[in-house]
Amino acid sequence: MNLLEIKDLHASIAGKEILRGVNLSVEAGTVHAIMGPNGAGKSTLSAVLTGNPLYEVTAGEIYLRGKNLLTMPPEQRAREGVFLSFQYPVEIPGVSMVNFMRTALNEKRQYQGLQPLSSTEFLRLMRDKRKLVGLADKLQNRSVNEGFSGGEKKKNEIFQMAMLEPCLSILDETDSGLDIDALRIVAEGVNQLRTADNASIVITHYQRLLDYIVPDYVHVLADGQIVKTGGKELALELEDKGYEWLSTQ
């Protein structure tokens, strides 16, 4: 059984169809890159996988480890192990990172039938995972993403991913707004979290990120469909030739 199975997925926002029959299989232990021009539906795919209520699924199926994702509310998908690193992480004034993460992790543990972590265990885990992405200590007492720089926000996403240990992580334009040093740190964090049991979908506009997070497969999304699939060399070809040659085929 594949970790993720997307079959003939159609989705729209405000009555406008964005995804027009997406098919994708993701097996455990792999990294899939999804590339494509602006407006192809890349971010829509991540929104639909995570259950964003702004989008309507009009046809198709999504299965995670054989379970139907489309019938689950967003939080249940998250507890099943779907994680989205947001392109634009949301600022939540007044809710501290510590409190937020403790609530998040314990909700997930409860769902899995596990006891909540003690304060000591939790803080130790926070400290260990923060190191993975070099996130400053001081940020944990601040409100979620509030006043974080662009780079800190992206590191914070990967930090949360490390805390929640998802089986499927979706990185939506994680490279946007990052300088090369921050990009390398974020990518190394992602690479260290790779196991044989989890998988990642890396959504990106540019090939640059894929120098650091090397994909097993590259898919090109255009006009709401996957129009081409290849190995990592496809990303280089796209960097060289652009997307035009694909949509005119």
| Residue 144, Ramachandran bin (φ over 0: left; ψ between -120 and 50: alpha; else beta) | beta
Output 51 or 215, the one with its CB closest to another protein: 51
| Residue 93, Ramachandran bin (φ over 0: left; ψ between -120 and 50: alpha; else beta) | beta
C-alpha–C-alpha distance, residues 166 and 148, integer Å: 24
Looking at residues 12 to 51 of the shown chain, list those that interact with another protein (rule: CB under 8 A): 50-51
Q: Considering the rule CB under 8 A, would residue 105 count as an interface residue with another protein?
A: yes
Output 15 or 53, the one with its CB closest to another protein: 53
**Per-residue binding letters, 49-88, with another protein (x by CB under 8 A):** -xxxx-------------------xxx--xx---xx-x--
Give yes or no for a contact between 228 and 221, defined as CB atoms under 8 angstroms apart: no
Instruction: Look at the block and give the residue holding tokens 């995670």.
Output: 64
C-alpha–C-alpha distance, residues 49 and 34, integer Å: 14
Give yes or no for a contact between 210 and 181, defined as CB atoms under 8 angstroms apart: no
CB of 214 to another protein, least distance (A): 26
Residue 65's nearest CA partner among 239, 231, 199 is 199
Residue 226's nearest CA partner among 6, 71, 16 is 6
**Per-residue binding letters, 211-230, with another protein (x by CB under 8 A):** --------------------
Output 113 or 196, the one with its CB closest to another protein: 113
Looking at residues 162 to 201 of the shown chain, list those that interact with another protein (rule: CB under 8 A): 164
CB of 129 to another protein, least distance (A): 14
CB of 50 to another protein, least distance (A): 5
Q: Considering the rule CB under 8 A, would residue 245 count as an interface residue with another protein?
A: no
Pairing mode of beta strands 55-64, 67-68: antiparallel
CB of 15 to another protein, least distance (A): 19
Output 72 or 246, the one with its CB closest to another protein: 72
Pick from 39, 61, 67, 111: which binds another protein (CB under 8 A)?
A: 111
Which residues, 6 or more positions from 1, have their beta carbon under 8 angstroms from its beta carbon?
65, 66
Pairing mode of beta strands 92-96, 199-203: unpaired
Q: Considering the rule CB under 8 A, would residue 113 count as an interface residue with another protein?
A: no
* Interacting residue ranges for another protein, rule: CB under 8 A: 50-53, 73-75, 78-79, 83-84, 86, 89-95, 99-100, 103-105, 107-108, 111, 143, 160, 164
